[in-house]
Amino acid sequence: MKRGWSLPELLIAMGLIAALAGIAIPMIGGLRKSAHQASCVNQLRGLGVAMEAYMSDNGGFFPEIKLGRKSKVGGKNVLEEVLLPYAGGPESFHCPADHEDFEKTGCSYFWNHHVSGMKRSRVEMFGMDSNDTQIPLIHDKEAYHGDENGTNFLFMDLSAGKDPNFEIDSK
């Protein structure tokens, strides 16, 4: 003889399902953020490869380009225009966690215009020189990846991550 679920058993089962969902939903959101950040770091590494190809064609000089632009219309001589022939296409300039800037401007990243036109071996910034691998070249336009430290960087040594190190030696 089959016996159905009693009301207390159903309530306990529903409570367990609700508790498990309460635990799983935030975990899934956190995993999605981590995946977006990892994808963005990979995008920046790809832009680093594109930058290397550009510099190889241009005698080791960084491109002389502007910080960025306000809209896709106009504003030539920006990162997404200059590196496009060396990158995998327009999506190379789109951080997966960016839901506004790329649509508006065509790029999720800013260029460090302080190194524009400089030869890699002669870069100086904030007391650091070309031997310092942590000079940022490209970075997210906003903290797309969470808190105020949610910004990714591509550094001079073409490594990428979210932890800049601006320590300056007092020589």
pTM, full prediction = 0.73
Distance of CA 71 to the CA centre of its chain: 19
As a residue count, the chain comes to 171
- Rg of the chain over all Cα atoms, to the nearest angstrom: 23
Residue 159 — very low, low, confident or very high, per pLDDT cuts 50/70/90?
A: confident
Using one digit for the tens of pLDDT, what is the confidence trace for 73-96?
877 889 999 999 999 899 999 998
Distance of CA 22 to the CA centre of its chain: 30
pLDDT over 70, % of the chain: 79
What is the distance between the alpha carbons of residues 98 and 107, in angstroms, rounded to a whole number? 9
What is the distance between the alpha carbons of residues 51 and 62, in angstroms, rounded to a whole number? 8
Alpha helices in 58-154 (DSSP H): 79-82, 101-105
Using one digit for the tens of pLDDT, what is the confidence trace for 44-68?
999 999 999 999 999 999 999 998 8
145 CB-near residues (< 8 Å, 6+ apart): 33, 36, 37, 40, 97, 151, 152, 162
pLDDT of residue 120: 80
